[in-house]
Structure 1
Amino acid sequence: MVEGQVVEEREELLNDVSDQGSVSREQSAASSLQLLISDHEDGKTDAPEEPEIVDPVLSKYHTACQAGDLATVKQMIESHVVDIGSDFMSEEKVTGLHWAAINNRLKLVEYLISQGADSNARASHLGATPLHWAARYGYVYVVDYLLNHGDADPALCDEQGFNLLHLAVNSSNIMLVCYVLFFVVQPGRLDIDCADPHGRTSLLWAAYQGDALTVTMLLKFGASTKITDDNGFTPLHWGVVKGQPQVMKYLIKDGSADFFSKTNDGKDCFIVAKEMKTTYAFKESLQYAGFSPDGTALRKYFKHDQHAKVATFMTPFVVIGLVFGMFSHIHFIFALLCSSVLILATNKCLNMFVLPSLISQNSSIHNMTLLKSPLMAGVFYGSLLWVSIVFLLVLFPTVIFEEPMLSILFVAVLGCVHLLFFQLVYSDPGVLEPETDFNEIRNKISELLKIGKFDTKNFCIETWQRKPLRCKFSSFHSRLVLRFDHYCPWVYNDVGLLNHKKFMYYVMSVGLGIVCFVKLSMEFFDAFDDDDDVACGFLGDDELCAGFTYSKFTFLIMVWAVLQLCWVSILLVMQWIQIAKGITNYEFDLALQQRKRKSSQQQQINEHFNTAPDELVDDGSSAGTARAESLANAETTFDGVSEGNGRAGTCLKMIGVPQCVTLVGELLGKTQSNSAGAEPRRGSSLHIATDYGVSRNIQDFWLTSDTGAPLWQRLLYSTSSSSSRALLNGEEVVYSTLYELPARQGDNGYSV
């Protein structure tokens, strides 16, 4: 079976000392190292036998190299106790540089190289060099130094036929993969499709490992999806064997992967998926890329995806009108049944005839759904159109004489809402364009390596940009968004630095407009209130009952508008509190996640792929560093609307109920407990690095940084898209290059 073969080869090729901690490596002799197990021919391990005689001097020297004891190593080398040219035991030939490299001792690596250590020295164990050992564990800083200062050869292969690129992929450290691709592969020092002795390229290995990040990066650099190994397996075959959905999605959507290609034993991806019990994930991946479960392309009924978006956007307007029309003219039971059928049929038609045309625009790792289409924006705008129609055709002729000032105000607000809605839909939230200059990218990576911050927290692996503070990668735009707040399905756009103020004006206008519309509707219903025979039970016998009896369609539109006011009010409360506290919705969510991990005492994971040596890591003693840690700037996988816990959870999250409850509880204070058995305490435990005081935070948000402009202009205008300049703690900052926050009083600031 395929799985048995894969597992056996995987164990042979990738068994190493990853289970040994740093301390255990420091205390072990060289003979205990089992970096990789290969020897495919006889099935024996390549780990050398325990030497009969152990040189105590070399043993002490190697232990010091493992522990990073630079003083001891210096003393032994400079006193000529150890010869740097033969600092290994005769049988294993594991040098001090090997031990320093595999333990990420950068300072020691620098010293040994300066003393003439050979960075291409091969240990008896698999013939691996220090570069191989460092790469196998993803130690990008050591790899960088060995390549640039130690003249290490990236093309050298160990006895398994693995070179630097293969080992970087096997490490599953995307930052090392990224480094090797930019500094070794792109300049032409290695071929991206170089294969091991079994014909497996780096993309084949990444696909089998289920490493979606590495697969995506290799595809961007042109890795071939058609190359097969000795068994006839393509990268997609190995992806199907592993069953990792994201890997299969990226390989299929790349466009060159052939899922009908057969292995040497005549099995295509469908047969392999059936044998490996990964059929569901494979079919989901096909759907993601625009294929039916049998592998045929889904039919597109719209030539251009823009036409499909317009159809999706306008559908709610028609459905809302039909539903309220039925409830206004036929019996409630029949109206309910007919409306249910209409909504289900509409959903089915959109999924069958419209959604396939939108799949090509999906850059998220999740399958395209109607919730990620313009549907929700269409629901809002369809509602707005019906409110406008009812006002102009039904209410206006009556209320203009009864409430002239309110009517004029409503017309003005209605116009503003229409204008702001389309401005928001087409607005730039503050995207940072991807970097395309490879030399510039290499410069940015080198800068981050110097300060120990080459990780996904500070470098965007999607856009190849250094990440400024307070930004987030948006799958909606496939760009970094500056001062990202949230994705809003009601305007089908992200909300960020450049459109956040406009979004607030829009939401406040919607709330004011709904209140005015309800007031005008009640004034209109009052004209029917003279009939004493009208009685509606729970509605009483006043304006509501009159409206329900004599103008049911208008009544239903008013009720629908009041329901919209619910989520608008929740959103306004959330936004105003966050503005006053100087935090975005995205930062608040991440801060909660971080605190939850700490309070639950979860094991810390290296989620940012940071392998900076200890000497490059800030000791965190300064107040600025402590504030830096509190600013959540991590990469996440949020893609617009979360699926939630069922449909009810999704609906609640879309209108912001859970977020609002949590936000009010955290920022206004609630009883909490840090950990099991700890005393509960009151007040928020969130430390907000960008909170400079309520007054200052509000001014930073609402005023542009152009201090020479009139106050009204600074209030009404948004940040210029050409400058990305805004206020922070009363100072003008450029958000596209914001790597350090302005200092609080008595603080020297901090850098990222």
Structure 2
Amino acid sequence: MKKAPVSDLSQMTHDRRESKTNSPALRCARTRDALCVELWKKTATSKTYLLLQEDSDAVSVKIEQSDSSGAVVIDTVWKAAAYGDTDKLKDILEKDGSQVNAADPSGYVPLQWAALNNRVATITQLIQFGAEVNQTEPGGQTALHWAATRGAIPAVELLLRSGADLTKSDIRGYTVCHVAAQYGQTQLLHHLALRWDADMDVRDNDGRTCLHWAAYKGYGDPIRLLLCLGTETQLPDREGCTPLHWAAIKGNSEACTLLVQGGGAEALSATDTTGSTPSQLAAQKGNVGAANWLANERSARERQSKKAFCAEPPRGLRHLAPVLWGLVLGLLGLFFKYVESTTLTNTVMATSSISAWIVASTALGGLCFLLRAGTADPGFIRCGGQGARTKTDGLPESSISWLDDPLLWDGSWHMLCIQCKRVRPPRSKYCKVSKRCVARFDHYCPWIGNAVGEKNHRDFVIFLMLETTAMTVSFSAAVYRVVTAGVSTARLLHTHPGTFAFLIFDGVVLFSVLMLTCSQLGQVFQNMTTNEMMNQHRYKYLQDSSGTFRNPFDLGCWPNTLEFFVGNDCATSASVHRYEGIEQAPMSQKVEDRGLHSRHCSKGGHGHSHGGCLCCQGHQRCEHKHHAPKTGENAV
């Protein structure tokens, strides 16, 4: 049998203090941890029953005896519990009921082996025979700790409903939440916080929280969840290290970025007991990239704090709408003064009045849409804020109800916004300038002084189209007048400098606006946004199983255009439903489906688990009504 490892505290201390590198005890701990991980992988695939025998100097592995056919001989209560052989387990316990809490030669009890392998039926049977759910092994860990290493939510749920102590810690002070954070079991942390009100700020013997461990391990998803739950980002451990210090020590760039963005910016200048900041620790460990980023981020924030602008760019640099209004009106005035009223020709052309009306109507109409796009709500998503909590007032159930989201139950942790403390809808993004999440975010445009999103994207594109039309017609009219008059460039510059200036300015602005308009229309035809085009390599929903780009929203050029400009309900509905990766069932229902409706099954009286129904494991069809029948292999 094999025990899944729990990260050794000495390993974390080793990374903090290099003086312990050659410690014999640490070398043994490293060997044991690496060996356990390898054996864990083998057990999960080949289901080989292994027994770890440890001493102070070495780690040896003994493979259990097999019969002539190669199958493992299950002759002990621990093997029966590990393999989920309920019939053999029942025979053994009926003969000797004291075996239910008996420890094997390593000190591990049957319930721990069953929990490690997520054997819900076996756990149910052991509890019925009187197994102690809070019994510990030599390291002080319970069956709940063992289940947490594998993220076995069904086993954890059953143990907690049977009276397991969620706050019980081992000899190092690790609770179940610590273990889940050490192994990156985000789904389990999510389940414990939502259904069992787990305290994520609990400290181990060295003062480290779940966030410390997640940052040290470099698991981005647990960090996102813990930040959204409102865990403390500035708590120092016994060595004075915050979670950002530990992320810097390991050189985890993603962890450093998330911690700084999620509220840990003050830790950039925090020092540990040796007086080192996170950037200094990263440099000492040779993590040059993380060290430079942390140092630059700290310098930038210190410069901003010394100025009158908080942590955002000056208003004038992010709101250039007055400049744009002046540019449009200025070009319009130049057109009427130096093109329509010019003396290049003595005859009045019939097309003159037509072009003037087209330019005036499109330019002024474009300004109306500019005003709408700049003042409208681009699709701001209400900030959550429910994740904040304190150690004194506890965590009311309603404060984290926003976690009951199909996206999170589906494992889409990247949809968590650590700034807004909420789950972002698909295609939304956090706008750094607006400091809000925007639905169907396209980009932030300083020329309109607003983000471009779901509710003002159409106005923005129409504004571009109208202004492009106005500048194209005015430029064409000016060129036509110059050509028909037969005036050379030198003479035009000398005799009609206003017309020449209009041609230069209008041509330069027209080129840039035309490029932007073509880019926006191209994205409209594909049902894409600027943000998605630039980050398609990062967004999993824009990739197929092989990593190749695919657009699940593309319904064809014409339906995409109708959906954007007209808001065709059918096209919109089809586009939404073609987005793959969103489960429609609410989390509360899925928890119940995966929960323990019955600890006994109608077939054989055993609490089996199969797919989403824990009471039907091992059967090809589920007879309960809470989910559709399905087939598949049993969970290891």
TM-score category by the smaller chain? Answer: 0.5 to 0.7
Write out per-residue CA displacement over residues 96-141 of structure 1, whole angstroms, 9 at most, x where no aligned residue: 54344334456665666577654323234x3322221222234445
Give the equivalent residue in structure 2 for 1:161. Answer: 173
Give the equivalent residue in structure 2 for 1:728. Answer: 572
Q: 2:379 aligns with which of 405, 410, 430?
A: 430
Q: Secondary structure at the match of 1:257?
A: helix
> What code does the residue aligned with 1:728 have?
T
Give the equivalent residue in structure 2 for 1:409. Answer: 358
Give the equivalent residue in structure 2 for 1:515. Answer: 472
How far apart in 2 are the matches of 1:150 and 1:592?
A: 42
**Is the CA contact (8 Å cut-off) linking 1:85 and 1:117 kept in structure 2?**
no
- 1:232–1:572 distance in 2 versus 1, CA, 3 Å: closer
The CA deviation at 1:728 is: 3.1
Write out per-residue CA displacement over residues 608-627 of structure 1, whole angstroms, 9 at most, x where no aligned residue: xxxxxxxxxxxxxxxxxxxx
The CA deviation at 1:560 is: 0.7
Q: 2:163 aligns with which of 146, 151, 162?
A: 151
Matched, 1:420 2:369: yes
How far apart in 1 are the matches of 2:211 and 2:543?
A: 34
TM-score (ref. length: structure 1): 0.58
Give the equivalent residue in structure 2 for 1:132. Answer: 145
What runs of 5+ residues in structure 1 fail to find an aligned partner?
A: 35-41, 315-376, 603-673, 675-684, 706-724, 742-749
Write out per-residue CA displacement over residues 452-501 of structure 1, whole angstroms, 9 at most, x where no aligned residue: 63542776666555565x43332445555444556667656554432233
Matched, 1:577 2:525: yes
- 1:557–1:81 distance in 2 versus 1, CA, 3 Å: farther
Give the equivalent residue in structure 1 for 2:331. Answer: 387
The CA deviation at 1:311 is: 4.3
The correspondence of residues 77-476 of structure 1 with structure 2, limited to 5 A, is: 77=90, 86-87=99-100, 90-104=104-118, 117-124=131-138, 126-140=139-153, 142-147=155-160, 149-183=161-195, 187=197, 190=199, 192=201, 194-211=202-219, 214-215=222-223, 217-218=225-226, 221-223=230-232, 225-229=234-238, 231-248=239-256, 254=264, 256-257=266-267, 259=269, 261-263=271-273, 265=274, 267-269=276-278, 271-278=280-287, 281-289=290-298, 291=300, 297-298=303-304, 300-303=306-309, 308-311=314-317, 313-314=319-320, 384=328, 386-388=330-332, 390-391=334-335, 393-395=337-339, 397-398=341-342, 402=349, 403-437=352-386, 439-440=397-398, 442-443=400-401, 445=403, 448=406, 453-456=410-413, 463=420, 465=422, 468=425, 470-476=426-432
Q: 2:52 aligns with which of 25, 28, 32?
A: 32
Give the equivalent residue in structure 1 for 2:33. Answer: 15
> What code does the residue aligned with 1:387 have?
L
Identity %: 19
Q: Secondary structure at the match of 2:314?
A: helix
The CA deviation at 1:567 is: 1.5
- 1:261–1:401 distance in 2 versus 1, CA, 3 Å: farther
How far apart in 1 are the matches of 2:82 and 2:330?
A: 73
How far apart in 2 are the matches of 1:10 and 1:389?
A: 80
Looking at both structures, which has the greater relative contact order when contacts are Cα pairs under 8 Å and sequence separation is at least 6?
2
- 1:505–1:172 distance in 2 versus 1, CA, 3 Å: same
> What code does the residue aligned with 2:18 have?
G
**Is the CA contact (8 Å cut-off) linking 1:58 and 1:82 kept in structure 2?**
no
Q: Secondary structure at the match of 1:31?
A: strand
The correspondence of residues 486-501 of structure 1 with structure 2, limited to 5 A, is: 491=448, 493-501=450-458
> What code does the residue aligned with 2:335 have?
F
> What code does the residue aligned with 2:211 have?
L
Equivalent pairs, count: 539
**Is the CA contact (8 Å cut-off) linking 2:187 and 2:411 kept in structure 1?**
yes
RMSD: 5.1
Give the equivalent residue in structure 2 for 1:656. Answer: none
Write out per-residue CA displacement over residues 612-662 of structure 1, whole angstroms, 9 at most, x where no aligned residue: xxxxxxxxxxxxxxxxxxxxxxxxxxxxxxxxxxxxxxxxxxxxxxxxxxx
Write out per-residue CA displacement over residues 167-192 of structure 1, whole angstroms, 9 at most, x where no aligned residue: 122122444344444555xx4x6471
- 1:502–1:561 distance in 2 versus 1, CA, 3 Å: same
How far apart in 2 are the matches of 1:500 and 1:509?
A: 14
- 1:459–1:309 distance in 2 versus 1, CA, 3 Å: closer
Q: Secondary structure at the match of 1:507?
A: helix
- 1:171–1:510 distance in 2 versus 1, CA, 3 Å: farther
What runs of 5+ residues in structure 2 fail to find an aligned partner?
A: 1-14, 387-395, 586-627, 629-636
How far apart in 1 are the matches of 2:438 and 2:211?
A: 30
How far apart in 1 are the matches of 2:405 and 2:159?
A: 17
How far apart in 2 are the matches of 1:445 and 1:10?
A: 41
- 1:417–1:183 distance in 2 versus 1, CA, 3 Å: same
